[in-house]
Amino acid sequence: MIRTHVTALADRLDEVIDSQQKLLAMVKRQRPEIVAGRHAVVDAIAGEIETEVRRLSASERARGAAAEALADALGIAATRWSALREALDPFDRALIAPRIERIEVLVRELEMANAVNGQLVRQELELLDLSVRSLGAPDPRVSHRAYTAGGARANAPATGPVLLNTAA
């Protein structure tokens, strides 16, 4: 009876792992597109990510239900792995533990990859903001005329640099 619940939980964990691996691949695929400034591709990948996040959410709900069923079969109230682990025999624990560890690694990798992509997007937005502000500054060559003491037109001072997306 318990083995059935353990197997069901293992199957749900495999679904979660599969979904998280797909998400990680998409986030990593998105990074060079962010750097290259290919916004349409970034948006398309973001749509794929959103769809996969919905699948992951459904898998997580199914995993939660499987963990509850296992906890009920074991006669414990908690569904956390730390509580379930202690109540399982070594064979069942060995079936579930590597999957839990893989999920923990994938979550950390996803967080890191997402943080890197987020930083790249923030840098691009900061550069764009700086570029727009520098483009909006008046050009001293046309905003006024400067004359020398002798009445001749003075040479225009050099303009400030205009920064564009240097991440590309």
What is the reported pLDDT for 148?
63
Domains of the chain, with CATH numbers? 2-110 (1.20.58)
CB atoms within 10 A of CB 94: 10
- Check pLDDT > 70 for residue 131: no
Higher pLDDT, 66 or 158: 66
Mean pLDDT of 82-97: 94
From CA 77, how far away is CA 102, in angstroms rounded?
Answer: 25
